[in-house]
Chain A
Amino acid sequence: AQKITQTQPGMFVQEKEAVTLDCTYDTSDQSYGLFWYKQPSSGEMIFLIYQGSYDEQNATEGRYSLNFQKARKSANLVISASQLGDSAMYFCAMRNNFGNEKLTFGTGTRLTIIP
C-alpha cells in the first residue's frame, strides 16, 4: 500500500520569500511517480509538478521545484519568490507506474502568503 504524509497542516510565509512544503511517502513499488497539486479556495485541482522515481534530476516548473530524496523517501515542494496568489492548499500525491494508476493523496498543507 502507498502512503503520503504531509506534516505541516498550515504555513504562513512572507511574500517574496521561498517556501518548502514537506512530503514523505511510503511504497514498496520500484517504479512510481510523485505529484504536487494546488487547490485554491475556488476548489479546482491544479497540477504543479511531477517527479518519476527513476528521474535523476529534480523536477522544475517555473517557480516550482521538487526536492526529491529517494533514500529518505521525501519529495518536498519548493516555491521560490512566493506571491499572494500562491495562497492555497497544496497536496502531495503518488501513484505506481504499472497497473492501477490511481493517485494517493496526503492530507495537504494550507499555505498563506502574507503581504
Chain B
Amino acid sequence: DSGVTQTPKHLITATGQRVTLRCSPRSGDLSVYWYQQSLDQGLQFLIQYYNGEERAKGNILERFSAQQFPDLHSELNLSSLELGDSALYFCASSSASAKLEEQYFGPGTRLTVT
C-alpha cells in the first residue's frame, strides 16, 4: 500500500458527461501529480500541484481541470467526456524533502466512457 488513495476505483459514464476523480496524497506530501494511461497515448503526465498551486502542466486537455485543496487532496475534473477519454487515471504524490526516487502512485481510477 503506497499510502495514496484514489476514489472511485471504477467509473462508467456516458459521452458528454462530467466526472470528478479524487486523490488523497500520502500524509505530509505536498506534491500531487496526475497521469493518464490509455491504449492510444500510453502513460502521460497531465498536471502537477504543489501545496495548492499549479506547478507544471503536461498534455492536459482544456476540457480537463484540476485543483488541490488546503487539506492537500486533489480533484481532477473531466468534462464533455468523449470515448477517447476512457483510460486509467493515476494520482501520485511526493514530498519536497523526499529522496528523488520517491513518487508514490495511487491504485488508479478506471474511467469508461460509453
- By a beta-carbon cutoff of 8 Å, the part of chain A in contact with chain B is 33, 35, 37, 43-47, 50, 52, 91, 93, 97, 100-108
A-side contacts of B101, CB under 8 Å = 33, 35, 47, 50
Interface size class for chain B? 20 to 34
Complex: chain B residue closest to A31, CB-CB = B100
A-side contacts of B94, CB under 8 Å = 101
A-side contacts of B56, CB under 8 Å = 100-102
A-side contacts of B107, CB under 8 Å = 43-44
B-side contacts of A101, CB under 8 Å = 31, 33, 48, 56, 94, 103
CA distance A67 to B78 in the complex (A): 40
CA distance A93 to B108 in the complex (A): 18
Q: In the bound complex, do residue B33 and residue A91 qualify as a contact, i.e. CB atoms below 8 Å apart?
A: no
Q: In the bound complex, do residue A97 and residue B43 qualify as a contact, i.e. CB atoms below 8 Å apart?
A: no
